[in-house]
Amino acid sequence: MRTNEELLASLTPDTVLAGRTALVTGSSAGIGEAVARVLAASGAEVVVSGRDAGRVQGVVDAIVKAGGRAHALTADLGAEPAGIRAFAQRAEDALGGTVDILVNNAGVYPGTLTETVTDDEMQALWATNIRAPHVLVAGLAPRMAERGSGVIVNIGSWMARVGVPYKALYPATKAAVEQLTRAWAAEYGTRGVRVNTVAPGATATRGNAAFADQLAEMTKGTPAGSPVRPIDIAYAVRFLASDEAPFIHGATLDVDGGIAATRLR
Q: Which residues are catalytic?
A: 170
C-alpha to C-alpha distance for 171 and 99, rounded to whole angstroms: 28
C-alpha to C-alpha distance for 262 and 219, rounded to whole angstroms: 11
- With H, G, I as helix, E, B as strand and everything else as coil, classify residue 222: coil
- Inter-residue contact 49 to 24 (CB < 8 Å): yes
The H-assigned helical ranges of 127-168 are 132-147
Nearest to 176 by CA among 165, 166, 168: 168
Which residues on neighbouring strands pair with residue 253, listed in sequence order? 198
C-alpha to C-alpha distance for 194 and 145, rounded to whole angstroms: 10
Contacts of residue 41, Cβ cutoff 8 Å, sequence gap at least 6:
11, 12, 13, 14, 66, 68
C-alpha to C-alpha distance for 50 and 25, rounded to whole angstroms: 7
| DSSP secondary structure, 176-188, as one string | HHHHHHHHHHHHH
Contacts of residue 15, Cβ cutoff 8 Å, sequence gap at least 6:
42, 43
- Inter-residue contact 94 to 39 (CB < 8 Å): no
